[in-house]
Amino acid sequence: MRLGFVGTGSIAAAMVEGLGGGAVLSPRGAEVAAALAARFPGVTVADSNQAVVDQCEMVVLSIRPQVAEEVVRALRFRESQKVLSLIAATQIATIRDWIGLDLPVIRAIPLPFVAERRCVTPIFPSDPDVAALFDRLGQTLECRTPDEFDLLAVGSALMGSYFGILDVAQSWLMQQGLPEAAARDYMSMLFANLGQVAEASDKSFATLREEHSTRGGLNEQVFRIFGEEGGPEALRKGLDTVLKRVRGP
């Protein structure tokens, strides 16, 4: 299936990189599109969004939610096409309404790790062509319900907080006198190794936390104060509010 991207930004670029080429790109995001066309075989930049749709069997909607309705309503699709929507917080019925045809619309949450083919990508509903695509970019996770898909979208919204925690820790270490590079290298090493432990282990996160916290020790102390100061509650509140937004109006 010829793949076309409407919206050539970060996530489209990461997917094309992971696929190693073979895509038609929309002209907006001109710099990214030109760089991808120069770097990968079989990548072309179309003259317009409509030209992308005209040249492809699977159309990937990789534009931001704020412009999505205007962009999609202006396009004319064909009965034989499949639409893969990456647009956050926008339900299938809404996208089908914008398209104006009863086409298969599949949603997915690819993350930047598709570039290294290391992403687990949730999709809904199941579709063999879309599953084959994301299996090439790591692994497809076929959700059983729209609710499961939305919950994984909420989980994916923690990427910023991950780096936010690293940033707070690094800044604090520097304020106490540690050089910037030492603070950065040490914290990124720590979190990278912990990520590997979490991925390789079949133990619960609560068990891993206990195993990485000596009783009465320093790790236990930080997490206790995090709890006493409302850290977990703030995190749950963030997830609650994102879930409301993800489910849409």
Ligand X SMILES: NC(=O)c1ccc[n+]([C@@H]2O[C@H](COP(=O)([O-])OP(=O)(O)OC[C@H]3O[C@@H](n4cnc5c(N)ncnc54)[C@H](OP(=O)(O)O)[C@@H]3O)[C@@H](O)[C@H]2O)c1
Which residues bind to ligand X, rule: CB under 6 A?
6-12, 26, 28-29, 49, 62-65, 67, 71, 86-88, 109-112
- Of the pair 26, 94, the CB lying nearest ligand X is at 26
Nearest distance, CB of residue 12 and ligand X, angstroms: 6
Closer of 114 and 183 to ligand X (Cβ) = 114
DSSP-assigned states of every residue in 113-182: GGGGT-EEEEEES--HHHHHHHHHTEEEEE-SSHHHHHHHHHHHTTHHHHHHHHHHHHHHHHHTT--HHH
* Per-residue tokens: 12: 């489209």
Residue (223 or 238) nearer to ligand X, CB: 238
CA dist., res. 107 & res. 149, Å (int): 9
Is the CB of 136 or the CB of 245 nearer to ligand X?
245
Q: One-letter amino acid identity for 154? A: V
Residue 28 CB, nearest distance to ligand X (Å)? 3
76 alpha-carbon distance from chain centroid: 27
Q: What's the CA gap between 249 and 238, in Å, rounded?
A: 18
Q: How far is the CB of 32 from ligand X (least distance, A)?
A: 6
CB of 120 to ligand X, least distance (A): 13
Task: Return the number of other C-beta atoms located less than 10 Å from residue 46's C-beta.
Answer: 21
Query: Smaller CB distance to ligand X: residue 25 or 183?
Result: 25
Closest approach of ligand X to the CB of residue 123, in Å:
12
Q: How far is the CB of 86 from ligand X (least distance, A)?
A: 4
Pick between residue 28 and residue 184 the one whose CB is nearest to ligand X.
28
Structure tokens at 26: 């929309």
CB-closest chain residue to ligand X: 9
Q: 3-state DSSP call for residue 232?
A: helix
Mapped onto helix, strand or coil, the DSSP state of residue 229 is coil
All residues at 6 or more sequence positions from 156 whose CB lies less than 8 Å from its CB, including other chains: 109, 111
